[in-house]
Structure 1
Amino acid sequence: MKHLVVLSGAGISAESGIKTFRDADGLWEGHDVMEVASPDGFKNNPKLVLDFYNQRRQQLFTVKPNAAHLTLANLEHDYKVSIVTQNVDDLHERAGSTNVIHLHGELLKARSTYDSSDVFTCKSDIQLGDLCKEGYQIRPHIVWFGEDVPLIPKAINICETADILLIIGTSMQVYPAASLMHYVREHTAIYYIDPNPALVRNSKIVTIAESATQGIQTFINLLN
């Protein structure tokens, strides 16, 4: 069974109604991203940051997986599928995908500000004064700007074993995630779905200039 590795980003979830992480004006839901997605932002105004992610978490319960998520899940019948996503939502899992790693954390998890390995499920709001078992404030389990991305080594190992690489819903401009495509083997087939392709076109990459839900069907047709 061939190994299909999927690198997914905000574009795939946008069609479910989730705002992309960073719009063209540099704002996320009206906030400067550094105010709500950096350690300094959390230090300067923890209540603002907690409220911001509480709203994102609440919104997550109002959306559902779209055709692109569902199609990727269905591909597990014919391929070994590994999804490496920059998204913090759980739409891949809700669609039925069983092998997903979240490079930038998960909205439905929280962790201790004292021990980053103390991670647990969190489906409700986080408030100032909510403490871990060691007595420290808890925070969203999100990788903020300036923080390490601990799952990158695992993602690299996955990419190194890919027979097919699919890039969908991401411009591949944010590092270190953007480096992952360079770890596939020389003859790995690479497909890139994006309505406004940002990657340099070359003979190794099959570019599909369509939205995620449209492009995934084109991709399926090319596989068959």
Structure 2
Amino acid sequence: MTMPPSIALDPLAALTPPMRWLLERAAPDEPALALLNPQHTLEQLYVAWMAAEQTPSAIRLIAAVLPSRESIWWAWVSARYATQMDGGTAPTADDHATLSAVEQWIVRPDDAARRAAWEAGEKSGLDTPVGLVATAVFLSGTTIAPPSVPPVPPPPGVAMPIVAGAILLAAVSNTKTELIPPTFVSFAAQGLEIVKRLGGWDAALQLAHDTHRRQQAEYDQATNPPAAR
């Protein structure tokens, strides 16, 4: 007699809805997920992951809880540092132009600056840390369509994994492999400082969850207009 397949337990089942949403959004690696304790606060979870050297998952957790502009600033700083660090790759002229264009958007996040960052990023290469930051800028706007056609909103949160990817790629863009782990830790510490400025993990999570719900409602309304009577 064959036994029925076992049903895997949901490791997120005991979490509050905002915490579950955040962990699904952050997509932690399996070793990090195994350390999840429903009794942990987000701060305790972050500390546990850092202590267990699950830094990529910790970085994705921070990226998932930050507002888009703050997270893009973090990714921009990381990508810029990757062009300057010992063992890093010297920036090209296109990289300099993209970093400058992204900085202009951070200072004044209007549509013209957003599209300029995207155009510059395409020249840098969208598979580079600098190019990924430019992509995140473009996807943080209200439309991904050309300015001459009706708006096509990006799905809410679509820029978040790109921000995390830019930071992680920036950390490993080093020919001196012994410097990669401390770079991960340094980038995580910088992201944590932004969380603290937002009032801590709980305040950041509340803001992120509320913002996502509002953006999701707006996205659903824009992409599923009511049927004509």
TM-score range, shorter chain: under 0.3
Is the strand fraction higher in 1 or 2? 1
The TM-score with structure 1 as length reference comes to 0.23
Larger % of helix: which?
Answer: 2
Q: Report the TM-score when normalising by structure 2.
A: 0.22
Structure 1 or 2, whichever has the larger Rg, is 2
